[in-house]
Amino acid sequence: MKILFSVIIVLSSFTLFGQSNDSTQIVKEIKDSLYIAETENVKGTDKVLHAEPLFIDLIRDLGARKGEREWNIGTGLTDRRTFDSYTALIEYEFAPINRLGLEIELPFTFYSPIESGISKKDIPQSKLNSVKLAAQYSFYVSEKYSTSMALGYIHEFELASFAKYGKERVYKGNIYNPFFVAAKRWQDNLHTLLYTGPVVESHFREKLRSTTWQVNSNFHYMISGTRNFIGVEFNKEFHKRDFDMTIRPQMRLCIADNLMIGIVTGIPTRRENQRFSSFLRLIYEPKHKVKHG
């Protein structure tokens, strides 16, 4: 009799545990559905909720809606064996019409020797790298298939280092970067994205052009009912016969409804020119009016 009573208790506990798990799963699915609906169940043009990479970010969201805006401030540190490079950027993104995103960015790089015996003459000079203008148009957006695709173009007006201002031409050349983006959300939490295109550098003095192909693949897991995620970027570059890849684990945290912070670590697979790096991005989205369906 005691054995039968024990069996009944054990079976009951399993049943309750299963019901608890089912309840947790139902709550999770409701949270995910409600959050996705905030982005997708809006009158007008379609838009799919995607996790956007933090290091090589997009020109507004895929399927951007008219009136959306975003400010980004970024800072980073890279160990380059004999010296450190510190990066800083400020960028503004906006959507003047549905599905079209525009961006202006000012990226800076500052250099500092690691060892006391290294002269500043032996390392690159600090500068405002360029004035960067960009556009991105989402030509395919399907809420049914949770998929978006876009074409874009980045143009950089490359500038000389601060030390050469007034001594030589400040405007050094151009960087041309057409690109293609495809993103897919799998169920509610898993996100994948591919960003690829050539980067063509053209300098006035050298009269030479150099082309590097970028292939960036991204995988993210978005926490249920939030905009927080964890993920990784695989930033790959092909230049002639040379191949470089940096793995960038990352996470994004919401500080407020319209304020987020992104934290990125860079791990190169080959340490020819650089070692580990870190990057921090602060993302601010001013509120805009939306019409829910």
pLDDT in tens, 208-224: 788 999 999 999 999 98
Closest among 274, 280, 284, 209 to 244, alpha carbons compared: 274
Contact by Cβ (8 Å): 148, 191: no
- CA dist., res. 150 & res. 200, Å (int): 20
Specify the pTM. Answer: 0.84
Task: Work out the pLDDT band at 5, boundaries 50, 70, 90.
Answer: very low
241, β-bridge pairs: none
**265-287: string of b/e by CB count within 10 Å (b at 16+)?**
bbebeeeeebeebebebebebee
Residue 57: how many other CB atoms lie within 10 Å = 19
**What pLDDT does residue 16 have?**
40
Higher pLDDT, 289 or 101: 101
Closest among 208, 122, 212, 123 to 172, alpha carbons compared: 208
Higher pLDDT, 292 or 49: 49
Given a cut of 60, whether residue 10 has pLDDT beyond it is no
- CA dist., res. 224 & res. 235, Å (int): 27
Residue 187: how many other CB atoms lie within 10 Å = 8
Enter the CATH code of domain 41-284. Answer: 2.40.160.40
**What pLDDT does residue 20 have?**
46
- CA dist., res. 97 & res. 23, Å (int): 42
